Amino acid sequence: MGIYDTVHFPQPLTCTACQARITSTQTKAFENILGDFRIGDCIGHAEELRIVREGLYCNACRTLNQQSVYFVVYRGILTDIAHDLAEAERHLRSFSFERLLLWYHDQYAKRIRERARRHEVERFLRDTHEWFTKGFDQHHPEESSFRSLIFLHNRDILEQSATPLEAIQAFLQQREEADRQREQNTHPASLPQPNGE
């Protein structure tokens, strides 16, 4: 089985065969790291300017390559997804430096977020290791009140977990829930809009 990346469209496309919504496509044109990419994401090196044609696959009617999209890559960033080659070439020619600067600001903010996420995981691993190897799981809370300080971020999870496996499961669940809430806050448009606004 090959490795690929997934590109998510800003707006779903409509399958020309069955009218189902197509929200993403797989591609082997980028780094092939099973990554998820959207417009504005860095997908390659800064010298890269190119247009990539990719056939669409419809999950509903299982039609392949009946229609295509064109990824516009400007200075290593996926800047647009066009419906035809002429539109893609127009995007590539008319791309402005100011817009590129905005993408880089977004990339920086994204890097900060990713780093914070990584630190969360590393802290959880360290805390869980210490908690169970030093026997904090064997103590009553009142016996070691100072642990609320050293395990500040993961104390609730650790106190409710009898084993490291339970702690991992609780940590992953908490993360998924936080991601879901962040997604809803960032993309409120995906929620039902009673007035169509």
Applying CB under 5 A, the span of 19-27, 49-57, 81-89, 178-186 interacting with Zn ion comes to 19-27
Would you say 47 and 121 are in contact if contact means Cβ atoms under 8 Å apart?
no
CB of 60 to Zn ion, least distance (A): 5
Q: Minimal distance in Å, beta carbon 81 to Zn ion?
A: 18
DSSP H helices, the chain, are: 85-93, 97-133, 147-150, 155-159, 164-186
From residue 58 to residue 87, the character string flagging contacts with Zn ion as x (rule: CB under 5 A) and all else as - is x-xx--------------------------
Which of 65, 190 has the CB closer to Zn ion? 65
CA distance 132 to 162: 9
Sign of torsion, CA 115 118 123 124?
positive
Alpha-carbon gap, residue 115 to 97, rounded angstroms: 27
Contact 20, 44 (CB under 8 A): no
Among 4, 20, 68, 168, binds Zn ion (CB under 5 A): 20
Q: Is 178 in the site for Zn ion (CB under 5 A)?
A: no
94-133 residues in contact with Zn ion (CB under 5 A) are none
Binding site for Zn ion (CB under 5 A): 15, 17-18, 20, 58, 60-61
